[in-house]
């Protein structure tokens, strides 16, 4: 959505987050943290005695999907700064 379209709607979530004091570096750190948490969740799930490989993979993938979102938010916030 273009900036002009967002101005018509009257709500820009990135501008709102920026106004709250959230900076791009916070979003980037969250992205890197989600990669690490994804690995930890996957390893912890694999380490159980009765581990289910499919369930372990799903946990890792679920948390791993957060990283691109945080990085995209970081880029948007960087443009707002």
| R_g of the chain computed on alpha carbons | 17
Note the pLDDT tens digit of each residue in 11-50.
788 888 888 888 889 999 999 999 998 888 778 777 766 6
pTM above 0.95, yes or no: no
d(CA 59, CA 80): 33
49 phi/psi in degrees, rounded to 5: -60, -45
């Amino acid at each position: 959505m273009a900036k002009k379209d967002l101005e018509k709607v009257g709500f820009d979530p990135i501008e709102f987050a920026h106004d709250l004091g959230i900076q791009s570096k916070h979003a980037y750190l969250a992205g890197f943290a989600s990669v690490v948490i994804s690995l930890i969740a996957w390893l912890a799930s694999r380490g159980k005695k009765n581990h289910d490989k499919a369930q372990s993979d799903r946990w890792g993938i679920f948390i791993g999907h957060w990283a691109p979102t945080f990085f995209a938010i970081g880029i948007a916030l960087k443009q707002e700064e």
